[in-house]
Structures are given as structure tokens and as C-alpha cells.
Amino acid sequence: MLREDAAAASAEALATQIALCEQRLTKLELLEKEIEAKIRASSGIDVAETRCQGAKQELVALEQQVKDLTLTSPTYGTIGDIKLQPGDRVSSGATLIEILDDLQPHVIAQIPSIATSKVRQGSNVVLIFPSNEKRLGVIASIPKQTVSIVGSSDSFLPVKIEPAGKLWPKMALGSNIKVLLR
């Protein structure tokens, strides 16, 4: 009986010691978490992480702005006439640049209003390029009204001429081309 009492007392003592050890382990785990939090706070890790998160959000916003500010052309070709300068304000739908389509060349000829009786849509004209090469063209479109040019007393009709026959030579934007009406 004494042995059983001694064994029970020993088991009870061991259970109490185990409970105390578990309590101490819990306290140590809490202390470890507190120390980790104190170290993070004292070394500025929390502040750095907050700044890093803010910087990531700002980067995402700036990347979106770049996407919003990047304009794409609905067609392809060579940049011809640049209509604006950097820093100019632009309204929605405004033409920023003129794109030259090498596959569909054309000439806008300023025909004096006194010669408009000779101009008919679909009629052929002779073009003399700066290299003195002669080529044929066909009048593609004629506007309904003339345009006055500053510094001139005459008015002009801006007529669009497209190629007919042989290929036109390459030329720079704004080249002077002679147009001979038939």
C-alpha cells in the first residue's frame, strides 16, 4: 500500500512538474514573440516594410500612367509631319502626327481657283518630281470649297492626286512637285 501511495505521489509530482514546464514553455514562446516584435520595431523593419509596400503601390500606379499615356497609331508607316511639340496640350481626338503610308502614296496639289474648270475627279494629270521624272496621277478627290493661303490674293483648291501607271519615286515630305493639267 505504501508503494502504491508513493507511486501515486510520484506520479502527481511528475504531473505537476510537467504542467509547470508547459506553463514555462508557453511563457517562453510569448517572450520570444515579444522579443522578435521589439527587435523588428527597434531596427525599423516595420517602417521599412510599410515604405516598401507604399513604393510598390506607387510603382503600379506609375506603370498604369505610362500605359495610359502611351498612344498607338491605328495604322503603320513612316512618321511624316509632327503637328505638336513636347509639352503642348492635346485635346481628345486631335491629330498628333501624320503617318506616311508608303503603300498608298498621294500628293495634295494646290490648284489655283482660276484653273478649277480643268479639274475633274478621275481625270489624269502629269506630275514632274524634283528629280525631273514624269509620272501619271489620277485626281482622287476634290473638296467642295477653295482655301485662301495667307499672303496670297488668290484662293486654291487642295486636290488629292494618287498614282496611276508607273511607281512614283521616293520623295521627302513637303517636296515641290509640278502638276500639269490636261
Q: How many CB atoms lie within 10 A of CB 181?
A: 17
How do the pLDDT tens digits run along the chain, 182 residues long? 778 888 888 888 899 999 999 999 999 999 998 998 888 888 888 888 899 999 999 999 999 888 877 777 777 777 777 888 888 888 887 888 877 766 778 888 888 878 777 788 888 889 998 888 999 999 888 887 766 666 666 788 888 989 888 888 887 767 788 888 77
Of 168, 178, 180, nearest in space to 100 by CA:
168
Rounded Cα distance, 102 and 48, in Å: 55
